[in-house]
Chain A
Amino acid sequence: MADITNGSATVTRVYRPPPSQATGAIGWMRRNLFNSVLNSIITILLVLVIGMIVWNFLDWAVFKSVTSAKSGQECGKISPDGACWAFVVDKYRLIFFGTYPYEEQWRPLFACISVIAMLVLSCDRRFWNAWLAAIWGIGSIVTFLLMFGQIFVPLSVLLIVALVAGGVGLLLRRRAASAIEVVAYWVLATVGAVGLAVLLWDWVMGLIGAPDLMVRLSAFVPGFTIAPLSYVETSKWGGLPVTLILASYGLAFAFPLGILAALGRRSKLPLIKGLCVGYIELIRGVPLISLLIMASVMLPLFLPTGMTIDKFLRALVAVTLFAGAYIAEIIRGGLQSIPKGQYEAADAMGLSYMQKTAFIILPQALQVVIPPLVNTFIGFFKDTSLVLIIGIFDLLNAGEQAIVDRVWSGYANEIHVFLAIIYFCMCYSMSRYSKYLEREMNKSVRR
């Protein structure tokens, strides 16, 4: 009812409500479920079929399920055609942490939290600057300290890092940086170079009688160890931390590789272009399994006699090489989307190739490809499950180990459903994030 004052007279108008069939639940159903004969038939059929499937599943998973039992046989006695969640309850430690020493399993738990925290913080756009490096630096130390129990830092690695950091700083920011910064870069690079030269001299002096470069190199580097906890080797790692570490670090290492390969593929130098095209197309043409098998049976043949590489590291190398090729193609897409004027303007400003690439082209190209990169990460998170084939105990393989247990034989479906739920939660939240990013980044373009 509404009162409308019209001049001196007051007219009272009665608004009738819309017909009840056009509003509310009934109206919604008429519009969305029964708006034509065909749709009505489809709706009824779907309700019947889906209802039956859902009912059967709930019957198995909830109504007839067993949550506490000592063995599979006991489950079978209590409820023959229900799910035996007691199996999952009994084995959840094995599934999440594999064969990591039982009393020490708080360490992989916190390592998982650390990796997930790194990933979540990396999702926040406010941290997309120097913070990102700090987060991953600190997070990595925490993660690997927890997982290994100790960290061995060879001196040569620190020197190489100093040399590279100083060198890159000098190359890129020689003109833009303040005098103090330039001096700092020079000091960094000099320390690295001199230190490495000394180590190299030491190595050359001791070379006589030494059989091989790699063995010699790995033997001579002095380093220091931080070891607050007992050492746990990678062959005992398992479950969720393995999946998380393989996916996030595989991608983190693959990222610079992908950038280099993408830049190389767009290079005008024929030999470099050829190498990059060969690498990208070769890797993209073969399945990941063949690379993993290669890493597990062929890599030992490539190395000098007496030198072995950890199986976990080998898998990480294979995943990195694989991811690098796919990331390169995504970044190439970003590079191609940069208008030619940007390149020409940078050239006209007198910027060198390095400066042009680092300050003008890459920031814009990477911005474009972030959503597809997140999608790639989801793909690799799922693909890490393939390391099962070369015998690394990731989340999926740890679940398979649980299934093998004779005490619970015949209840594989429960473990598989449980694993599927874990993977689904992680991948689905990441895909929601990717959708959100896409919307956020298109704000400036879309109106």
Chain B
Amino acid sequence: MAVDARFSSTPPKPKVAPWNDPVIRGWFFQIVVVGLFVLLAVYLVQNTMENLERQKIASGFGFLEKEAGFEIGDTIISYSAADTYGRALIVGLVNTLRVAVLGIILATILGTLIGIGRLSSNWLLAKICEIYVEAFRNVPLLLWLLLIAKYIRESLPGPRQAWNLLDAFFLSNRGFYVPVPIADPIDKYVGIAFLIGIGVAWYVARWAKKRQEMTGQQFPRIWAGFGIIIGLPLVVWLLGGAPLKLSVPALQGFNFSGGVVLQPEFIALLIGLVLYTSAFIAEIVRSGILAINRGQTEASLANGLTRGQTMRLVLLPQALRVIVPPMTSQYLNITKNSSLAIAIGYPDLVASVNVTINQTGQAIEGILFIMAAYLTVSLSISLFMNWYNKRIALVER
């Protein structure tokens, strides 16, 4: 049965000229834009190939296997000038991650304290926190870094007159010396006990939650968890005879020996990053807390929850929803800003690559390496924080 076109449910396609058809137009513009982009890319690549050939610069990542021939002042993993460029870059990457991770942890703690301080009922405390935030937010990070690095190098005393705490911690213009425990065979078992403790604590927490959901009975799972995680290794350590030998830094000649030294550049970078970023984090925390309706506190107290429970079960979950997304970008900022290390001589990833570029001339490979490394780190942080954000997000119908 033939259906008259006028009565069919789908309207007839309007007749339009091809240059007015949105689909054709869309593809036309896309092809033009991408074509121009490809042309530009081809042009640049051609120029680059010519230039590289003319300046006799090798291309490819073969240089990673060659001997680097430069020293790196501050390393955690073993490295010497005889190692390869590849290893030098890894050392730089590890240094970047070290300062970024420590910076994120410390800035979060300090920023949260300052942010809460700004809301204190104590006028003096609130004002001082406000001045702190404004002072650190409105001056470039690079200036803070240079100021702190120069201050440590020039205005702190030398090793002989080092500032001394308990005859074990020394702060001088050569760095911050801290005592470390000397390795003992029992350490291995303590570590295993620690891991087991985490597992047991997780299991207990799960059990407690299930029990609370079934019966309503509560169990102090946070305290119990801490007790298990700290207590188990402690028991193992005590059973092992409680070996405590410390390597304490002591002045020998012109410098200290023993202990572990935090290099002045590392301290300067860490302090600068933490102070600067904590000012931003303080503002985020403050706005997160202010975003919660006051009625929430009153309602929860009226329901008979204690102040601690109100904070933990009612206020914090809601504040975190506001806080987490901007906090993510601050964490990314710390990671990216750690690249300013190059200005004060801390051997991070960018500094290692910079030396490599200067020695081999392979700028493109070096910069590709930097970009790939930072993109990987940035994306991992974003992915983690997005996962966390989803976990705490409001569950809507």
Contacts and interface: CB of A to CB of B under 8 A. Distances in A.
11 contacts: A271-B33, A285-B371, A287-B337, A290-B339, A290-B370, A297-B367, A301-B47, A301-B51, A382-B141, A385-B143, A420-B147
A290 B142 contact: no
Contacts, number: 155
B374 A302 contact: no
A302 B49 CA distance: 9
B48 A269 contact: no
Contact of A298 (B128, B147, B367, B374): B367
A57 interface: no
State the 9 A-B residue pairs at the shortest beta-carbon distance, nearest first: A427-B138, A32-B123, A287-B336, A382-B140, A416-B147, A287-B339, A271-B30, A297-B363, A285-B378
Contacts of B50: 304-305
A251 B121 CA distance: 40
B135 interface: yes
Nearest to B329: A284
A305 B51 CA distance: 7
Nearest to A424: B138
Contacts of B44: 302
A412 interface: yes
Contact of B122 (A43, A285, A413): A43
Contacts of B379: 285
A285 B371 CA distance: 8
A287 B350 contact: yes
Interface stretch (B108-116, B150-158, B297-305): B150-158
Contacts of A275: 33-34, 37
Decide if the interface of chain A is mainly helix, strand, loop or mixed: helix
A89 to B, nearest CB: 20
Given A423-B143, A427-B138, 7 more contacts: A35-B121, A46-B128, A272-B30, A285-B379, A287-B350, A410-B154, A420-B147
Contacts of A282: 371, 375
B248 interface: no
A90 interface: no
Contacts of B48: 301-302
Given A269-B30, A286-B374, A424-B135, A293 B367 contact: yes
A277 to B, nearest CB: 13
Given A290-B339, A416-B143, A285 B29 contact: no
A301 B364 contact: yes
Interface residues of B, number: 56
Interface of A: 32-33, 35, 39, 42-43, 46-47, 50, 268-272, 275, 282, 284-290, 293-294, 297-298, 300-305, 378, 382-383, 385-386, 388-389, 396, 400, 403, 410, 412-413, 416-417, 419-420, 423-424, 427-428, 431
Contacts of B337: 287
Given A301-B48, A302-B47, A413-B147, A33 B123 contact: yes
Nearest to B45: A302
A39 B138 contact: no
B82 interface: no
Contacts of B54: 305
Interface in B126-151: 128, 134-135, 137-144, 146-147, 150-151
Nearest to B358: A297
Contacts of A417: 147
Nearest to B34: A271
